[in-house]
Amino acid sequence: MRWHYKLPLRLRSLFCKNQVELDLSEELKFHLQSQIDEFVAQGMNSEEARRAALQALGGVEQVKEECREARKMNLIENSVRDLRLGLRMLRRNPGFAVLVILCLMLGIGANAAVFSWVEGILLRPYPLVAHQEQLVALSGTVGEEREQTSWPDLLDVKRSCALCKTVFVSSITGATLSIGERAEVVTGSMASANYFDGIEVHPILGRGFEPSEDTGSRGHPVVVISYHLWQTRFQGDPKIIGKTQRLDNVVYTIIGVTPEGFYGTFVGRVIEFWVPVSMLEVLNGGSFKLEDRGARWAEAFVRLKPSVTRNQAQQEISAIAARLAVEYPDTNRGRGIKVWPLWNTPFNHARELLPIFEIMVVVTMFVLLIVCANVGNLLLVRSFARRHEMTVRVAMGADRCRLLRHLLTEGLLLSACGAAGGMLVAYWCRHGLALFFPGDMLYLPGQIDGRVLGLSAALCLVVTLAIGLVPAFQTRHLALADTLKTEASSVMGARGRAWFRSSLVVLQVTLSFILLVGATLLMQSLRKIRTTSPGFATTRV
């Protein structure tokens, strides 16, 4: 039978079970009566005919069970039955269920939060930026030292790099924003004209920069503002485009508003405005640098063409840098250009956070192990309290595998509730990482997306197995005769609790000691980050 015939029948047996069972009983009753009539016609009396018909049929209940197995829905039906039984058992012990769920919320939530931070900073550090796997950062090098690059060098890379889709610049800066009588320092960026095209994020109002705004000196006082700045300082004015605003007492024309949730391309900072690189002298002071190959101020990014690897791009860009060193020996001799992954870019805080994340991942995994050991201990106590119940069920014919499946289902219910609560913990903590770091780190993203949900689901399954194995282990050693005797059960339960619970306590103490050491290392790393120079002046940023 084809699947489009089987599927409706199986769904009917699942959702209309009572009617299906009634139809099955009626059909078997019809076949049984037909067989009885046939035997009566052969000369048997009614009692003999019924007995012979039942023997020929093989037993009504046996045939019903064979029909149920033929539908292949027993697993789902039994699972639903186990879920209902598990919910009833947990409702009988609400204090136990709440305690276990709170423990699991802590373990799963901590791991989900840390993973959201790792993904949001090391894997996809720039919210809303498309295809971040194609983005790399560029920096100049002098021996082993890193430095920024010059605008003319970047133009040469842009013209000569066949593997690069585009090269663009975003250099952090700051300015005093004056609105009425209120003045405050806000963080901004000097960006190349192709910046928004390069990151594939476009203003929701107005436009980005035009190519002509990359040239000249002080000649293009235009600004793109962030959605956050638009809402908080301009009250979401829909007619904001074309209006003017003072930054450092220079009047700029607002030409665009970025989408909500876009914070720029500097990890740890919320960029509130973008101005073209032609305004470099206005914001940073100094001489005209757009034509000075020796002025190294630019923080550059490259979007690679599809399927191009970072190593391939490095080879081509290194060749370009070597050519520039020959053509411009006064400014470029001994200098190179290095390609960096986004998580290791030298001009933001991402690379500083890597050792912190390594420790945090280990710490949260130990937290999860301690939680599993703690919950396992609670389940062990509960399993001894239910030992008599389990023994009676086995004595009445319950299959041990079915009993094991029921216990694992209870564990799944607990871990699923813990995972759901853990996602709330992770959501509340998604921006909490910034609290652990210096005050100049204003924003560290943590995104709750499909990857984080997938990790939580995986942790849920792992925890289910970890905590479900504890009572399941006990069901393998049920001694019916001894356990049904109260005195013998008490002696055996005490012995069982002694070695198994002691093992879990030793495990918890050991993991707690390791966790304490890891937390100490984490605090030392945070202290070092607080005293580390960011590599740029922060007085006006």
pLDDT for the residue 33: 82
Q: Which whole number is the average pLDDT over 227-248?
A: 92
Contact criterion met (CB below 8 Å) for 32 and 53 = yes
Number of domains observed in the structure of the chain: 3
370 & 517 share domain:
yes
Are 65 and 100 members of one domain?
no
Least confident interval from 4-13, 127-136, 403-412, 477-486: 477-486
Buried b (16+ CB within 10 A) or exposed e, 340-350: bebbebbbbbb
> 232 in a domain, yes or no?
yes
| CA–CA distance, 132 with 134 (Å, rounded to integer) | 5
Confidence (pLDDT) at 317: 96
Q: Provide the pLDDT confidence category of residue 160 given band limits of 50, 70 and 90.
A: very high
Question: Of 286, 302, 333, which residue sits at a domain end?
Answer: 333
Compute the distance between CA of residue 25 and CA of residue 11 in angstroms, rounded to an integer: 19
**Phi, psi of 488, rounded to the nearest 5 degrees:** -65, -40
- What percent of the chain lies above the pLDDT cut of 90? 26
Q: What DSSP state is assigned to residue 119?
A: I
Q: What is the pLDDT of residue 398?
A: 64
- Mean per-residue pLDDT of the chain: 79
User: Do 432 and 374 reside in the same domain of the chain?
Assistant: yes
66 and 92 both lie in a single domain: no
- Two tokens, residue 183: 């003045």
Q: What is the pLDDT of residues 95-119, one digit of tens each?
A: 888 888 888 888 888 888 888 878 7
Residue 337 near residue 129 (C-beta atoms within 8 A): no
379 and 450 both lie in a single domain: yes
Which residues are paired to 223 by β-bridges? 254
Decide if 133 is inside a domain: no
Q: Which of 155-169, 172-186, 198-212 has the lowest mean pLDDT?
A: 172-186
Residue 79 lies in a domain: no
Q: Are 268 and 391 within one domain?
A: no
Between 534 and 445, the more confident residue is 445
pLDDT at position 504 over 60: no
What's the rounded Cα separation, in Å, for the pair 536 and 308? 32
Instruction: Reply yes or no on whether the pLDDT at 436 is more than 50.
Output: yes
Question: Do 320 and 429 fall within a single domain?
Answer: no
DSSP string, 442-502: -B------HHHHHHHHHHHHHHHHHHHHHHHHHHTT--HHHHTSHHHHHHHHHHHHHHHHH
What's the CA gap between 410 and 314, in Å, rounded? 54
More confident residue, 94 or 316: 316
CA angle 47, 51, 56 (to 5 degrees): 145
Q: Which residue did the predictor score with more confidence, 131 or 394?
A: 131
The token pair that represents 331 in the structure block: 């400014």
User: Is there a single domain that holds both residue 356 and residue 482?
Assistant: yes
Per-residue pLDDT, 527: 61
Residue 364 and residue 311 share a domain: no
Higher pLDDT, 498 or 199: 199
Pairwise CA distance, residues 69 & 67, whole Å: 5
In this prediction, residue 536 carries a pLDDT of 45
**Is residue 505 included in any domain, yes or no?**
yes
User: Distance between terminal CA atoms of the chain?
Assistant: 71
- Which of 126-130, 158-162, 365-369, 376-380 ranks highest by mean pLDDT? 158-162
Q: How confident is the model at residue 320 (pLDDT cuts 50, 70, 90)?
A: very high
Cα 344 to Cα 316: distance, rounded to the nearest angstrom:
20
**How confident is the model at residue 219, as a pLDDT?**
75
Type of residue found at 264: G
Asked if residue 3 belongs to a domain, the reply is no
- Please check the confidence at residue 351 and state whether its pLDDT lies above 80: no
Q: For residues 177 and 154, state if they share a domain.
A: yes
Worst-scoring range by mean pLDDT, 68-77, 218-227, 447-456? 68-77
Q: What are phi and psi of 85, to 5 degrees?
A: -65, -40
Domain membership of residue 538 (yes or no) is no
- The domain containing residue 301 runs over which residues? 144-333
**349: its two tokens:** 């805080």
Tens digits of per-residue pLDDT, 239-279?
Answer: 999 999 999 889 999 999 999 989 898 887 889 999 999 99
Is pLDDT at 154 greater than 90 in this prediction? Answer: yes
Residues in contact with 168: Cβ distance below 8 Å, sequence separation at least 6, in sequence order: 191, 192, 194, 195, 197, 198, 199, 300, 301, 303
Position 21 in a domain: yes
Q: Give me the amino acid identity at 362.
A: V
pLDDT digits (tens, 9 = 90+) for 139-148: 999 988 888 9
pLDDT the model gives residue 494: 47
d(CA 527, CA 313) in angstroms, rounded, equals 36
Report pLDDT for 478: 55
Q: Which residue has the higher pLDDT, 59 or 327?
A: 327
Is-contact 191 214, C-beta < 8 A?
no
Q: Do residues 426 and 459 both lie within one domain?
A: yes
Mean pLDDT for 429-455 is: 67
Say whether pTM exceeds 0.85. no
What is the reported pLDDT for 324?
95
Alpha-carbon distances, residue 428 vs 115, 419, 446, 470 (angstroms): 14, 14, 10, 32
Q: Find the mean pLDDT for residues 338-345.
A: 88
d(CA 375, CA 414) in angstroms, rounded, equals 10
> What span, in angstroms and rounded, lies between the C-alpha atoms of 172 and 126?
15
Q: Which amino acid is at 259?
A: P
| Distance (Å, whole) CA 160 – CA 154 | 10
Give the number of residues written for the chain: 541
Beta bridge pairs of residue 273:
188, 225
> 2 in a domain, yes or no?
no
pLDDT confidence tier of residue 487, bands split at 50, 70 and 90: very low
Q: Are residues 118 and 229 in the same domain?
A: no
The position carrying tokens 């605090």 is 523
Q: Using an 8 Å Cβ cutoff, are 335 and 321 in contact?
A: yes
Stronger pLDDT, 261 or 455, i.e. the higher one? 261
Q: Distance (Å, rounded) from C-alpha 94 to C-alpha 76? A: 26
Q: What integer pLDDT is reported at residue 358 of this predicted model? A: 79
What is the band of 234 on the pLDDT scale with cuts at 50, 70, 90? very high
Neighbours of 51 (CB within 10 A): 13
